[in-house]
């Protein structure tokens, strides 16, 4: 007597037909991962453009946006599209966002890096001024050339990062005794950055300021003499 193999009911056959395959699940996860990393890449890229206390942090955010999330997003998206069960819409969105983050680095990364280097130059200038004052009865140098002549700082610190041929990149004015904290001591000249400039204050606070904010700070009574000096340094 021969036995007949068991047969599946119609409902069981339908459940078997629509059951997700392991490979399909992996492809779907890759698509979702591409989208998530693409979104994070764009968020970090935008965050890099926001003025931060440390300009180098902006550079780090831009690099992280591209190499930790942007490139992996594009790779995951392309890999997902080559497999069955992928979610094309999510994968393509991840690829596009990843590519946008990569292009953003090329367009904004250079200026962010230059801002960071310039801020580092002013950081060195801040320490040089402090060292000079400590050895000269708390008197500020009257000219930046004094710091260079007495080897408190190197000439490279005075130059435009990436635009060395333009000459001295910064305007400096020794502050009056007991000047308020809002008094500007040094800043970049206008032809360095179209969007703003790094500014050093008498209280040693150093930060990047957008043009509007800088104009308001420069208009304060405490900065009247510095405004005149900056106008002469930048020319007509």
Condensed to tens digits (0 to 9), the pLDDT of residues 74-123 reads: 888 888 888 777 678 888 888 888 888 877 777 666 777 788 888 888 99
Band the pLDDT of 236: cuts 50, 70, 90. low
Using CA atoms, how far apart are residues 220 and 183, in angstroms rounded to an integer? 9
Which residue would you say has higher pLDDT here, 12 or 150? Answer: 150
Question: What does the pLDDT look like over 37-78, one tens digit per residue?
Answer: 888 888 887 776 665 555 556 667 777 787 888 888 888 888
Q: What is the pLDDT of residue 66?
A: 79
Question: What does the pLDDT look like over 117-149, one tens digit per residue?
Answer: 888 889 999 999 999 999 988 889 998 888 888
With 0-12 / 13-18 / 19 or more C-beta atoms within 10 angstroms meaning exposed / middle / buried, residue 21 is exposed
Q: What is the pLDDT of residue 16?
A: 47
Long-range contacts of 156-159 (CB under 8 A, 24+ apart): 156/121, 157/121, 157/124, 157/125, 157/128, 158/121, 159/121
Q: Output DSSP code: residue 232.
A: H
187 strand-pairing partners: 171, 199
Using CA atoms, how far apart are residues 40 and 230, in angstroms rounded to an integer? 41
């Amino acid at each position: 007597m021969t036995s007949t193999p068991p047969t599946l009911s119609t409902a069981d056959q339908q459940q078997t037909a629509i059951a997700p395959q392991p490979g399909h699940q992996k492809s779907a996860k890759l698509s979702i991962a591409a989208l998530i990393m693409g979104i994070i890449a764009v968020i970090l890229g935008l965050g890099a453009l926001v003025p931060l206390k440390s300009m180098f942090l902006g550079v780090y955010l831009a690099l992280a946006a591209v190499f930790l999330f942007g490139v992996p997003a594009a790779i995951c998206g392309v890999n997902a599209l080559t497999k069955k069960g992928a979610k094309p819409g999510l994968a393509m969105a991840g690829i596009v966002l990843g590519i946008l983050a990569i292009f953003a680095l090329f367009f904004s990364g250079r200026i962010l890096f230059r801002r960071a280097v310039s801020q580092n130059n002013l950081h060195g200038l801040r320490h040089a001024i402090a060292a000079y004052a400590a050895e000269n009865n708390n008197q500020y140098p009257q000219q930046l050339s004094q710091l260079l002549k007495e080897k408190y700082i190197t000439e490279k610190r005075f130059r435009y990062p990436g635009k060395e041929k333009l000459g001295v990149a910064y305007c400096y004015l020794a502050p009056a005794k007991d000047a308020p904290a809002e008094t500007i001591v040094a800043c970049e000249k206008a032809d360095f950055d179209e969007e703003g400039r790094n500014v050093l204050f008498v209280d040693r606070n150093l930060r990047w300021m957008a043009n509007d904010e800088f104009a308001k700070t420069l208009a304060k009574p405490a900065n009247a003499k510095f405004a005149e000096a900056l106008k002469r340094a930048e020319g007509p």
